[in-house]
Amino acid sequence: MSVLQGDVGVFERSFRAAGDGTVSIALDPMEVLYGGSYVLLLEEVGMPRLQVAGVKLEVRDKVERKRTWLVWCGLVMLAVGAAILVRDFAMQSLKK
């Protein structure tokens, strides 16, 4: 399977489908960094044991990765803020 942008190959993945009846194969995600027009080329190598009745393709659009570094930064900032509040409260209590 290849993903092309014009005549230039962007991704290429190989997989093997074996079995009788419905066969489901999930490939690793492919991240497309730039918008544009792409072509998915599905090639069959050799003669199949059974005739293929159809191919189903699922494309997920506008999927973003989780930004875990942002979550951890937020938690660190929250912990620092809580420590400052506890320190200020303790300093006021000791002065009295």
Virtual CA dihedral for 24, 5, 14, 30, nearest 10 degrees? -60
Identify whether residues 21 and 55 lie together within a single domain.
yes
Q: What is the pLDDT of residues 78-93, one digit of tens each?
A: 999 999 999 999 999 8
Domain count, the chain: 2
* pLDDT, tens digit (0-9, with 9 covering 90-100), for 14-43: 888 777 778 888 888 787 777 788 888 888
What secondary structure letter does DSSP report for 60? Answer: -
Q: pLDDT over 90 for what percent of the chain?
A: 21
Domain span including residue 46:
1-61
pTM: 0.49
3-class secondary-structure state, position 2: strand
Assess whether 84 and 40 both reside in one domain: no
Q: What single-letter amino acid sits at 39? A: V
Q: How far apart are CA 10 and CA 91, in angstroms?
A: 61
Same domain for 23 and 47, yes or no, is yes
CA distance 96 to 21: 80
Closest to 95 measured CA to CA, from 87, 33, 60:
87
